[in-house]
Amino acid sequence: MKIIDYDVSKRIPPITENDVKTKIIISHSISDGGNNFIDYVIRNNDGIFMFRGNLKNCMTDNWLVDVSTWEDRYNNGKTIMDLLLKKQTEMEKRRWTTIHYIVESYNDLLKIINTFDITGNLKTELMACWEKLPVNQKA
């Protein structure tokens, strides 16, 4: 697993556009109020990169039921770098902490799921996303 915990405008992360086809790129953000957001990069039908994910409420310590493709103005990019830069800029404005993870193996995914206690629909979706990657398809 690769961890991107630095300013991507000053240091290019070890990521390529094709990584979205072979890996899961996950973003973890913590709001100033303490809510946890776990998102992963998807590519929509128009070829635009976006984040899809969920929120763990700090008051209830529960994940929301529904997983969402975020519709925020910064949640779109023509490239993965464009998306990461937009998110980083917005998170800095909000004073939220954000770290990105490039999940390269099933064990990496399990580590993320266990570390952030991901449950419910988000866990199910992340597991299904991993299974759909071409490297996991049987011939």
5: its two tokens: 């915990």
pLDDT given at position 17 = 85
How far CA 128 is from CA of 65, 109, 133, in Å, comes to 17, 11, 9
Where do the structural domains in the chain lie, given as residue ranges?
2-136
pTM of this structure: 0.92
9: its two tokens: 């405008």
CB 101 within 8 A of CB 2: yes
pLDDT given at position 137 = 56
Question: CA 103 to CA 124: how far, in whole Å?
Answer: 16
Per-residue three-class SS string for the chain:
CEEECCCCCCCCCCCCCCHHHHCEEEEEEECCCCCEEEEEEEECCCCCEEEEEEEEECCCCEECCCCEECCCCCCCECCHHHHHHHHHHHHHHHCCEEEEEEECCHHHHHHHHHHCCCCHHHHHHHHHHHHHCHHHCCC
pLDDT given at position 139 = 43
Residue type for position 60: T
Query: What residues in the chain have per-residue pLDDT under 70?
Result: 137-139
